[in-house]
Structure 1
Amino acid sequence: MFKKIFGLTMLLVLIGIVIGNFIDHRNESKINETEDSDTYLYDVTGDTNVKGGAIAPAESVGIKQGDLAPDFELETLSGDRLKLSELRGKKVILNFWATWCPPCREEMPGMQQYYEENQDEVVVVAVNLTDKDTSEQAVHNFIDEFGFTYPIPLDRDGDIAKEYGVIVVPTTYFIGTDGVVQQPRVAGPLEYDYMTEMVDGLN
């Protein structure tokens, strides 16, 4: 009798462990839904303290290779106005980022080096997701601290990121002199050599 009770208890414990592991696995892989049912949080950093790589509409698919890059005009961190269509004739690295994103921080020194060495032919445009960032002052503080000098347009309303279908940050588009996205978009941090390879493939 005791053996039967002991065996039944052990079986129930094992079933409980299996169910618990299954629930934990589902919770880890599930995307956290926000109060807006059309919007989701994506954690792409691997840092559990980060609330997500970015926020974007669930139906968003993004701009694809071969598409004309949607034009926009935004105020930059320095107070100037930047209009994408006015950069026609130059190759453009269009990057979307936020201060709280570790992969963004990882790639930015390489972007600065690339900008310094190639700014006569290539424009680096790093659009800050200001509506999803900690604060606009945090963006100022971050740029001042690290001395990045390429243009930083402020997407205060999130409209540009939404139009481009930015789901994770960093996301980068490589735009040719004709204003067309000529390479596949990249979600994740870029290295200097990869930027060189992608830009070399633009015309």
Structure 2
Amino acid sequence: MISMTVISFTDTDESANNAEQDSSEGAGIVPPGETGIEEGKVAPDFEVETLSGDTFRLSDLRGRKVIMNFWASWCGPCKEEMPEMQAFYEDYGDQVEVVAVNLTGNDSSIEDVREYIDQNGYTYPVPLDKDSEIQDQYSIYNIPTTYFIGTDGKVQEPPKLGPMDYDYMVDMMEKLT
């Protein structure tokens, strides 16, 4: 037990030293312990390709309110909320970023995702989590799951499990700072 404690202190010191080195290499690096999926923590950054072929980085949305939804094309409750998300996006897309992260690693194929999005006329960004890395990073066990991120990049509300409706999204947008 004592040796585990010593190892833990050693690992913590090493991480802190690496963080100091990293922070001297560039701006915008978040110190260890300040990133996480809990309220008040900076939402973990990620970079993936979108369904349209663009590169998506969560950190590029700093300064904007973000509603980030996780879904799959086979998910009934996800399909239930997507028309509501589209209506909300059309009405409030200039005030808040609506991002629908597709759990592509759990979906049938990218073409099925594309067909579903196109057939239904959804126009919000759809980042593709092909390797389930974002799903793991955000501890997504049930879908749909939605995170609410403020202009400072921090998670500002507990995640919503289950489908959202238009009014809920309006209420959440108004709470975000």
- What TM-score do you get using the length of structure 1 for normalisation? 0.69
Among residues 116, 124, 148, which one is paired with 2:90 in the alignment?
116
CA distance in 2: counterparts of 1:163 and 1:140, whole angstroms:
24
Counterpart residue number, 2:78: 104
Q: Which runs of 5+ in 1 are unaligned?
A: 1-61
1:17-68 CA-partner distances (Å, limit 9, x unpaired) = xxxxxxxxxxxxxxxxxxxxxxxxxxxxxxxxxxxxxxxxxxxxx8222121
1:158 aligns with 2:124: no
Among residues 168, 185, 197, which one is paired with 2:159 in the alignment?
185
CA distance in 2: counterparts of 1:106 and 1:65, whole angstroms:
27
Counterpart residue number, 2:147: 173
SS at 1:131 equivalent: helix
SS at 2:41 equivalent: coil
Counterpart residue number, 1:84: 58
How many Å apart are 1:121 and its aligned residue?
1.5
Amino acid at match of 2:173: V
1:99-133 CA-partner distances (Å, limit 9, x unpaired) = 00000000000100111111112010100000100
Amino acid at match of 1:124: V
1:132 aligns with 2:106: yes
CA distance in 2: counterparts of 1:200 and 1:90, whole angstroms:
13
- What TM-score do you get using the length of structure 2 for normalisation? 0.79
Amino acid at match of 2:57: K
How many Å apart are 1:165 and its aligned residue?
0.4
CA distance in 1: counterparts of 2:162 and 2:151, whole angstroms:
24
How many Å apart are 1:190 and its aligned residue?
0.2
CA distance in 2: counterparts of 1:117 and 1:198, whole angstroms:
14
1:72 aligns with 2:49: no
Counterpart mapping for 1:12-23 below 5 A: none
Among residues 142, 145, 166, which one is paired with 2:116 in the alignment?
142
CA distance in 1: counterparts of 2:98 and 2:133, whole angstroms:
20
CA distance in 2: counterparts of 1:67 and 1:167, whole angstroms:
20
Q: Structure 1 segments of 4 or more deviating over 6 A? A: none
Q: Which runs of 5+ in 2 are unaligned?
A: 1-35
- CA RMSD in angstroms comes to 0.9
CA distance in 2: counterparts of 1:121 and 1:161, whole angstroms:
26
Rg bigger for which structure?
1
Counterpart residue number, 1:54: none
Counterpart residue number, 1:21: none
How many Å apart are 1:134 and its aligned residue?
1.1
